[in-house]
Amino acid sequence: MKKGYDVIIIGGGIIGCSIAFELAKRGVTDILLVEKGFLTSGATGRCGAGIRQQWGSELNARIAMESTHIFENLEEYTGYSHSCGLHQGGYLLVAYTAKEWAQFQENLKVQHKLGIDSYAVDLKQAKEIVPYLNTEGMYGATFCQKDGHADPFHCTQAYAQGAKRMGVEFLTYTEVTGLRTAGGRIAGVETTKGYFEAQTVINCANVRAPGLAAMVGEDIPIISERHQALVTEPVEPLMDCMVMSFHRSYYVQQTPHGSFVMGIGPQEEPSFNFKSSWQFLEKNCAVMCEVLPILRKLNVVRQWAGQYDLSPDRNPIIDEAKQARGFYSVCGFSGHGFMVAPRIAILMANHLTHQEDTMDIRMFSQERYKTGKLLLEPAVV
């Protein structure tokens, strides 16, 4: 192995792999990606993999819309020979309060400005879309057919294999344990398999990103919150779309092979706890069986836990360390990093290769927490 690279990326989730791919596409191929487990062993491999364009802020709606366009073509875009499993069965976002319903009307205006094909539905129409839905307590819903979900393992592999073909090297089961700086710049990374030099290091370690950034004196305000999900036995097709509520903090979808995947937001202290809990199973099943009573007949086959890297305004932080120039953190995706990865990777790669972008990367700097220019988002769990 070489001793030095132009760029080292820490973290082999969808964010690290998509940035590696976009950089290589722009001619920066002397890259080493270091991952402490296997690719997708972090949040990416544990996520619901939902992709929605129904956001409330123009920024998020645009990032999600442009990312969706890439997901629609990811196999061709990356030269991947398998299917990435995109299924555009739509997202039905349900409102449970008058305030939420009013906000949904505002969100639609933002989405329509960008040309996103979303619309409001009444409860009768919601039941036509999801016949087994219990609409009790709901005010209404919005729907976008082009929303859906994809396979997070294949999407990440598509980016990783595309990057590999362009010359990017991958070092898995290798942990970054230290960072070295020289003259106010990043100089390299210490790993469990030795030291590697690099003038640019990109920290895509999700909930572990603050710990790495702290090694170069950077304080990233991200907390780690456990989120759990479960999957049922497969059954015949009962619904085609994702059903999601911000107010009650749940989502549920049926995968193409018939299993239902679902999750419900936690109410717990920050932690690095990756264990599944009985409490989640109980609460999730109670809520989901009320929303979709037909689920009462299904057996749960598997349950797991992952982490959200929650930033103060629930939006990503993309920042260069002040005391170690060339060290970038790309983290804080707060539960929606999978669906925005394609566009964020382009933004980051354009920035590093000094190419123009229609988005201003500075918006994502954590400076916003000092200036008060937060990236506010009403449509987030």
Site size with ligand FAD, rule: CB under 6 A: 39
Task: Identify residues 148-187 at the interface with ligand FAD (CB under 6 A).
Answer: 175-176
Contact stretch for ligand FAD (CB under 6 A) within 131-139, 162-170, 201-209, 283-291: 201-209
DSSP H helix total and E strand total for the chain: 10, 18
Query: In this chain, which of 140, 265, 326, 337 binds ligand FAD, going by CB under 6 A?
Result: 337
For the chain, what percentages of helix, strand and coil (3-state, to nearest 5) are there?
Answer: 35, 25, 40
Question: Could you tell me the smallest distance in angstroms from the CB atom of residue 273 to ligand FAD?
Answer: 12
* Separation between Cα atoms, residue 156 and residue 329, nearest integer Å: 19
Task: Identify residues 228-287 at the interface with ligand FAD (CB under 6 A).
Answer: 229, 263
Q: How far is CA 157 from CA 81, 82, 164, 230, in A?
A: 10, 10, 10, 23
213 binds ligand FAD (CB under 6 A): no
- φ and ψ of 135, to 5 deg: -90, 5
Is the Cβ of residue 77 or residue 333 nearer to ligand FAD in the bound state?
333
In sequence order, which ranges of 35-79 are alpha helices (DSSP H)? 58-71, 74-78
Query: In this chain, which of 5, 22, 35, 65 binds ligand FAD, going by CB under 6 A?
Result: 35
Task: Identify residues 289-328 at the interface with ligand FAD (CB under 6 A).
Answer: 306-308
Question: Could you tell me the smallest distance in angstroms from the CB atom of residue 309 to ligand FAD?
Answer: 7
Query: In this chain, which of 87, 146, 336, 368 binds ligand FAD, going by CB under 6 A?
Result: 336
| Residue 57 CB coordination number (10 Å) | 17
205 binds ligand FAD (CB under 6 A): yes
Instruction: Give 223's contacts (C-beta < 8 A, 6+ positions apart).
Output: 270, 309, 310
Structure tokens at 308: 């959200």
Q: Which residues make up the interface to ligand FAD (CB under 6 A)?
A: 10-16, 34-37, 41-44, 46-50, 175-176, 204-206, 208, 212, 227, 229, 263, 306-308, 333, 335-339
